[in-house]
């Protein structure tokens, strides 16, 4: 992935999300009879401007990192508004209509996510099979009884019941993260060969601060069944001398089957100074080759350790499944997935506020750009999935009751609906300043996390 790819993917993603968000405001404003003066996407000097039939000025800026919809409003006009236009001013509309116009932006982001997820499910997306690797001793997965090689097919709440099918590793990951954040025990139904077993998984003791990108590794749930494939061969290495090539699949070592990449590496490292017999699959045929495991000193927890190396970089060829649904089921699952991720995001943010979850989970533009580039390099389906996730995050963020965000305005309108009086402008000004401070603090934390990830990558 190149820097240019990341930048372009980020610009496209943010541009699409901003257009969807602002068009939500625009469409409902027009529906409620509000005159829209300007619809602008991007910052900087406009590179394109035109006026529509309704009188709205449309504008596109060179930096698609934001946008706005400017509506007719007596409070923001420097000149008197013609009497015939007053009924179309935003501030003259009822509380319900103003609420609907402001809420339409985040709702548009949720609808976009539903459409994107439904499209993926309807057309089919290839995802890793929910097969488990060998868990480390003492982890939650090991205590549950998993030994590696099991394929999870369903999950249910250990206390409330309600079983849900699991078709991919992505679905399994979301279920585990959700259960860990809720501190609740679950039961995973898994198959091994022709047999089916129920495994009680106790996630009630997982701390909310542990719910991060490394959670699954920490509790022992790692993808299994990956085929070990030679990604590259070092010139002059034992692997090169043995004739190993990029793309060779490693199926056996000393008459023992290779389970996955980690299994192969462990076996090679334990045979330092010995000649191994590898069984490789090339062009549909299996052949054996002798390879010397060169003794190499490595640092393990501050201590030198000698291990065997053959000089080949390995890749994991995961077993994949095509996840595809009918139109109705695809939309239903799109709605459910959007709801689950939204609810998870709200719970996670709430726990970060009270100190129960790490602020390291906040990500800024650098991390988003990095993920945008990586997802784009993996294909259209990965990029669309990423776009849906970010659209949900944008929707949730804008609904937070922070002044200057949509959620802050919705809070004002809710107070007005209950009391019958608008929040005084002087208090709105105070809250707005406080909201700006909150946004700046959150942005600073997110940027710090971005730089920390960048330095440690």
pLDDT per position as a tens digit, 327-356: 998 999 899 889 888 888 888 777 777 766
Residue 9 has pLDDT above 90, yes or no: no
Q: Which of 286, 305, 323 is the last residue of a domain?
A: 323
Question: Could you tell me if 329 and 387 lie in one domain?
Answer: yes
Contact 59, 41 (CB under 8 A): yes
Q: What is the CATH number of the domain that holds 254?
A: 2.30.42.10
Question: Could you tell me if 174 and 76 lie in one domain?
Answer: no
Question: Could you tell me if 116 and 162 lie in one domain?
Answer: no
Candidates 22, 127, 150, 171; catalytic one: 22
Confidence of residue 450 (pLDDT cuts 50, 70, 90): low
Question: Could you tell me if 347 and 414 lie in one domain?
Answer: yes
Question: Could you tell me if 443 and 339 lie in one domain?
Answer: yes
Residue 216 has pLDDT above 60, yes or no: yes
Percentage of the chain exceeding pLDDT 90: 28
Q: Mean pLDDT in the chain?
A: 85
Q: Which residue has the tokens 């959150």?
A: 442
Confidence of residue 146 (pLDDT cuts 50, 70, 90): very high
Nearest-angstrom CA–CA distance, 35 and 55: 9
Task: Pick the more confident residue, 69 or 11.
Answer: 69
Nearest-angstrom CA–CA distance, 211 and 345: 12
Segment 244-255 mean pLDDT: 88
Number of domains observed in the structure of the chain: 4
Nearest-angstrom CA–CA distance, 65 and 58: 16
Contact 185, 191 (CB under 8 A): no
Q: Which of 323, 357, 379 is the last residue of a domain?
A: 323
Q: Which domain covers residue 26, as residue numbers?
A: 1-32+93-124+325-457
Question: Could you tell me if 442 and 389 lie in one domain?
Answer: yes
Question: Could you tell me if 400 and 288 lie in one domain?
Answer: no
pLDDT per position as a tens digit, 76-103: 777 788 888 888 999 889 999 999 999 9
Indicate if 84 belongs to the active site: no
Question: Could you tell me if 345 and 427 lie in one domain?
Answer: yes
Residue 364: per-residue pLDDT: 64
pLDDT per position as a tens digit, 98-129: 999 999 999 999 999 999 999 998 998 888 88
Question: Could you tell me if 329 and 454 lie in one domain?
Answer: yes
What residues contact residue 413 under an 8 Å CB cut-off, 6+ apart?
A: 95, 98, 99, 102
Question: Could you tell me if 276 and 170 lie in one domain?
Answer: no
User: Which three-class secondary structure state does DSSP give residue 129?
Assistant: coil
Confidence of residue 201 (pLDDT cuts 50, 70, 90): very high
Question: Could you tell me if 49 and 109 lie in one domain?
Answer: no
């Amino acid at each position: 992935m190149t820097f240019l790819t990341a930048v372009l993917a980020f610009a496209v993603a943010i541009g699409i999300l901003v257009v969807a968000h602002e068009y939500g405001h625009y469409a409902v404003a027009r529906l409620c009879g509000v005159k829209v003066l300007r619809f602008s996407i991007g910052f900087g000097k406009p590179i394109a401007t035109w006026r529509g039939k309704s009188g709205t000025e449309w504008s596109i800026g060179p930096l698609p990192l934001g946008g706005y919809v400017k509506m007719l409003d007596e409070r923001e006009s420097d000149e008197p508004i013609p009497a015939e236009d007053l009924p179309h001013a935003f501030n003259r509309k009822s509380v319900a209509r103003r609420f609907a116009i402001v809420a339409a932006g985040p709702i548009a982001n949720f609808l976009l996510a539903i459409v994107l997820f439904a499209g993926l499910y309807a057309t089919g997306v290839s995802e890793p099979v929910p097969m488990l690797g060998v868990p480390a001793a003492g982890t939650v997965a090991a205590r549950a009884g998993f030994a590696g090689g099991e394929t999870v097919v369903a999950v249910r709440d250990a206390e409330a019941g309600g079983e849900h099918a699991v078709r991919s590793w992505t679905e399994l990951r979301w279920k585990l993260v959700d259960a860990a954040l809720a501190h609740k025990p679950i039961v995973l139904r898994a198959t091994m060969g022709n047999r089916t077993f129920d495994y009680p998984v106790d996630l009630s003791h997982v701390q909310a601060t542990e719910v991060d990108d490394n959670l699954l590794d920490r509790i022992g749930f790692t993808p299994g069944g990956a085929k070990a494939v030679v990604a590259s061969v070092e010139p002059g290495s034992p692997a090169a001398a043995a004739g190993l090539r990029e793309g060779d699949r490693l199926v056996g070592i000393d008459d023992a089957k290779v389970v996955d990449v980690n299994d192969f590496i462990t076996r090679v490292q334990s045979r330092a100074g010995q000649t191994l017999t590898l069984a490789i699959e090339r062009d549909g045929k299996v052949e054996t080759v002798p390879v010397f495991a060169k003794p190499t000193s490595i640092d393990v927890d501050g201590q030198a350790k000698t291990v065997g190396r053959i000089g080949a970089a390995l890749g994991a060829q995961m077993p994949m499944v095509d996840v595809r649904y009918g139109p109705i089921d695809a939309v239903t699952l799109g709605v459910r997935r959007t709801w689950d991720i939204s609810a998870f995001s709200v719970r996670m943010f709430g726990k970060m506020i009270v100190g129960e979850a790490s602020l390291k989970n906040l990500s800024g533009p650098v991390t988003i750009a990095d993920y945008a580039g990586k997802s784009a390099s993996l294909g259209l389906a990965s990029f669309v999935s990423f776009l849906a996730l970010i659209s949900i995050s944008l929707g949730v963020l804008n609904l937070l009751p922070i002044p200057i965000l949509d959620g802050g305005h919705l809070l004002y309108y809710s107070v007005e609906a209950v009391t019958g009086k608008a929040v005084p402008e002087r208090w709105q000004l105070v809250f707005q300043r406080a909201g700006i401070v909150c946004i700046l603090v959150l942005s600073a934390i997110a940027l710090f996390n971005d730089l920390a990830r960048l330095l440690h990558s």
